[in-house]
Structure 1
Amino acid sequence: MTEAKICGIKNQSDVEIVNDLKPDYIGLVFAKSKRQVTLEKAAELSKNLDGKIKKVGVFVDEDPEKVTKIAKACELDILQFHGKESPEYCSSFKDYEIWKSFVGDENIIENIKKYDGCADAFLVDSSVPGSGKKFDWNNIKGLSESYKIILAGGLNPENIAEAVKKVKPQVVDVSSGVEGNNGKSREKVEKFIGEVRLHG
């Protein structure tokens, strides 16, 4: 069963949409991005979130103490690292599930092997995260048989059925593909999650 993550939650309207539509995970972005949220804002959104939805914090080469402070304040379930964090860095967060991100077009299997045992799952993204661009899914075909794979990059309600069928990821991660004029689009989020449930 493929699970769905809606990333880049940044306002109360987004929270209301996910509380209604029940994805398995949401992502709060703490790295420099147009979807970045402050600690204060993220903590407020987390308090209003349905407790059954797991919270993922997205970081890029952040100071470990700051990561821990944010994780505690927002009661994060999972830490997602999108930078050049080392295996040792990833291993240092004992109380959280760790997702390490890699670019799908670059030596993906070699990279994952270096972090095997240091991360619980591997997120595979396009070279420009959050851009809505996808990579060649053939690069990671079959990888989910050996590792927990989170597929990101260019996913949307129209292509998610094909992505799930081809890659068979344990989790699919969408951000720009379900956005409207001001944050997440209820219609797009609903269609995306519906397609995941149907085909996953």
Structure 2
Amino acid sequence: MTLVKVCGIRRGEDVEFLNKLLPDYAGFVFCKSKRQVTLKLAEELVKKLDKRIKRVGIFQNNSLEEVKNTAEMLKLDVIQLHGREDENYIKNLHPFKIWKSVSIDVKSSLEDLKDKIDKISNCNVEAVLVDSSVGGKTGGTGTSFNWNVLENLNINKKLVLAGGLNPDNINTALECVKPYVVDVSSGVEENGVKSFKKIDQFIKKVRNF
């Protein structure tokens, strides 16, 4: 069964929603984003988070020291990387589980994507996270991509599907792709904040698929 990650957790109310709905993963953003949290705030939120929900820290070109310190302080289950982090950088994060992103946009050629995924697949990562990019912006774009392109990519790691997912399109996405995890953020928000109703709808659709 596909697992669910709700990303961009930044309020006590968000944690309350998750504790009632129990997604498999909760994501906390530590890089430039409107959903970015400080380490202090993340510590407060994680203390309240149900222990059954795994903790994911999202980073993009953060210093290795910052990532390791954050991961250790919060006892992260997964470190999710969205930047230029290379194989050596990833080796230095052992023994944490790593999800490394690759971005797809309308200008991405199949060969470019294959090259990116081959490089990630050669690294010691648990999963490849496939996300959309818009105008060079990666992660948190709220825009989906053509999921059918994944049929032509040989991904030998677990697949995390992100980018523009919401309760209205998740069934279509799951018909095209059979990911290990689906990752949602803006798709379960209203007026820029997490919506209990939308998170509930999203999780139910994934688990009933």
Q: For this structure pair, what is the TM-score category when the shorter chain's length is used for normalisation?
A: over 0.9
> Could you tell me which residue of structure 1 aligns to residue 204 of structure 2?
194
> Could you tell me which residue of structure 2 aligns to residue 110 of structure 1?
115
Following superposition of structure 1 onto structure 2, how do residues 35-184 of structure 1 map, counting pairs within 5 Å?
A: 35-105=35-105, 106=108, 107-116=112-121, 117-127=123-133, 128=137, 129-141=139-151, 146-181=156-191, 183-184=193-194
Structure 1 residue 53 displacement after superposition: 0.5
Take 1:141 and 1:179, find their aligned partners in 2: how far apart are those partners?
29
Q: Is the 8 A contact 1:88 1:118 kept in 2?
A: no
Take 2:63 and 2:15, find their aligned partners in 1: how far apart are those partners?
27
Q: Is the 8 A contact 1:144 1:170 kept in 2?
A: no
Q: Is the 8 A contact 1:144 1:168 kept in 2?
A: no
* Length-normalised TM-score, structure 1: 0.95
In structure 1, list runs of 5 or more residues that go unmatched.
none
Q: Is the 8 A contact 2:186 2:192 kept in 1?
A: no
Number of residue equivalences: 199
Q: Is the 8 A contact 2:117 2:155 kept in 1?
A: no
Match of 2:194, SS state, is coil
Instruction: Report which structure shows greater RCO (CA 8 Å, sep ≥6).
Output: 1
Q: Alignment RMSD, CA only?
A: 1.4
* Length-normalised TM-score, structure 2: 0.91
Take 2:94 and 2:64, find their aligned partners in 1: how far apart are those partners?
12
Match of 1:69, SS state, is helix
Following superposition of structure 1 onto structure 2, how do residues 7-22 of structure 1 map, counting pairs within 5 Å?
A: 7-22=7-22
% of aligned pairs identical? Answer: 48
Take 1:74 and 1:143, find their aligned partners in 2: how far apart are those partners?
34
Question: Alpha-carbon deviations, 1:145-199, whole Å to 9, x = none?
Answer: 7321100001000000110110111110000000123521000000000011011
Match of 1:37, SS state, is coil
